[in-house]
Structure 1
Amino acid sequence: MDPLLQNIAILLIASFHNCIYAYPNGQVTDSCNTMIPIHGASTQTTTSPYTLSLAKNTYSSGENIAVTLSSTTGTTQFKGFLIQARSGSTSTPVGSFKISANAQTLTCSSSADSVSHISGSGKTSIQVTWVAPSSNIADIQIRATIVQTEKTFWTNVVSSKIAYVAPASSATSSTTVGNSTSATTVTTTTTKNQANSGFQMTDELKSVVISCTRHEYLMRGFYCWGNNQEDAEETMRKGGVTTANNLRYCQIN
């Protein structure tokens, strides 16, 4: 064979060889979209011997959730992997990842939105941390491709779905006394039973501070107070404990 043609043939064989072999360093950004290794082989159709488990199945904005990729038997090793979080059938990763040993982050669409191996050494499990997005995205699942050998790999291994949980909002109450209105965040207060000249309330109240005139009083815990104890006792004798919107206060009738 002509030496020139022989050199060209060697180069072509070498190039083809590189195209179908795995990336032991985990730099698999060519597979970001499909999550399918370029190994010159088809994905396995049998049940994967590996699973993805989550520390929890709900997320709030920016929450960190541990993700574990592991062998179902605890002994079946794998050499490579690619992990992303996706919503439904979309191919764009959501959220980002933090990594520990045996893993590295990749940038497919945004910084650290994917995770892969750092070597082709055998392992039975790895754990990474998924950082949730800041908004409600439906049907999020962690997805993985796991490579056991160059020609043996599984794709579309998925976790359970992760549902968004909105942050709790505080309740606000608005109370009008006389010509004054006060809007107050309501919190539940529990106070030990203590004597108060025989006028102690027996049920649990909600504390509220009301803007008062001289004929309006402050309710604190279980107790009804006026400008002084005599005023409070006089108010109680006149039946001036009023209930409105579950907020109790005292005023002279």
Structure 2
Amino acid sequence: METIRLVLVLVGFIGVCQGYGSGAPPVACEDMTPGHVLNGNDSIPLSPSDEPSPFTVTVSEVEFGQGGQVEVTIQGSVNFAGFLLQARQDGEDEPVGTFSDLASDMKFVECSATYTEAAVTHTNSNPFDGDVTVTWTAPSTQIADVTFYATVASDHDNYWVMLESEKIIYSGFSVLYPKLCMVLLPMVAILNRFLG
């Protein structure tokens, strides 16, 4: 019985150590390192590439408010096999916000107790033959400025960790405030005219 249990545990570790064709696991959330090992030798971990990255992370907005939405795109000069994407506040390790508009070959990773859809990864080992774009929605509460981070693998052996987007600035206003102001300002002007 002990021998069977040992074999099952070892088989489980082999699956964890070989790489993740079904996406990044929760254990990769904090340092965003995929944990790939050298094929044929499970004791030799693969380090991130020190070559210039062929991938970039771009954003559609330069600032955001509470509940604001930003399109985030991972693009590259080569195809890529997998990725992990998060948004983090300045100086924080836990991702924030919520992603949406995921393609069928993407899924969420539970990287935050507060925001269960705050990290996105791939679902299979088929290479992506184009850019990946998802929508990020800011929390409805005040947060700090945000940077998007992506770990991207061109194949099992070559990956780049924590590629950064341009920082987007928290504007301090809810996305509802500008619309509300457009309604209230004329009313205030009318009241001021009659009361003044």
TM-aligned CA deviation for residue 105 of structure 1: 1.8
Query: Aligned residue for 2:97?
Result: 95
Report 1:56-205 matches (<5 A): 56-71=61-76, 73=77, 76-101=78-103, 102-109=105-112, 110-123=115-128, 124-165=130-171, 166=173, 167-168=177-178, 170=181, 185-186=188-189
Letter of the 2:165 counterpart: S
Structure 1: unaligned runs, 5 residues or longer = 174-183, 188-205, 211-246, 248-253
- 1:103 to 1:9, Cα distance in 2 relative to 1, 3 A: closer
Provide the rounded CA distance (Å) in 2 between the counterparts of 1:89 and 1:47. 25
Higher relative contact order (CA 8 A, sep 6+): 2
Distance 2:157 2:10 in 1: 19
Whole-Å Cα distance in 2 between the matches of residues 83 and 66 of structure 1? 12
Q: How many residues of Structure 1 are paired with residues of Structure 2 in the alignment? A: 176
- Please, which runs of 5 or more residues in structure 2 have no aligned partner? 37-44
Which residue type is aligned with residue 18 of structure 1?
G
Flag the 1:90–1:207 CA change in 2: closer, same or farther, 3 A: closer
TM-score by structure 2 length?
0.77
Q: Percent identity?
A: 27
Contact conserved, 2:24 with 2:34, CA < 8 A, in 1? Answer: no
Q: Distance in 1 between matches of 2:10 and 2:166?
A: 43
1:49 to 46, 54, 57: 54
- Map 1:4-43 onto structure 2 (within 5 A): 14-39=11-36, 40-43=45-48
RMSD: 3.0
1:56 offset after TM fit, Å? 0.8
The TM-score, its normalising length taken from structure 1, stands at 0.61
Computing the radius of gyration from Cα coordinates, the structure with the larger value is 1
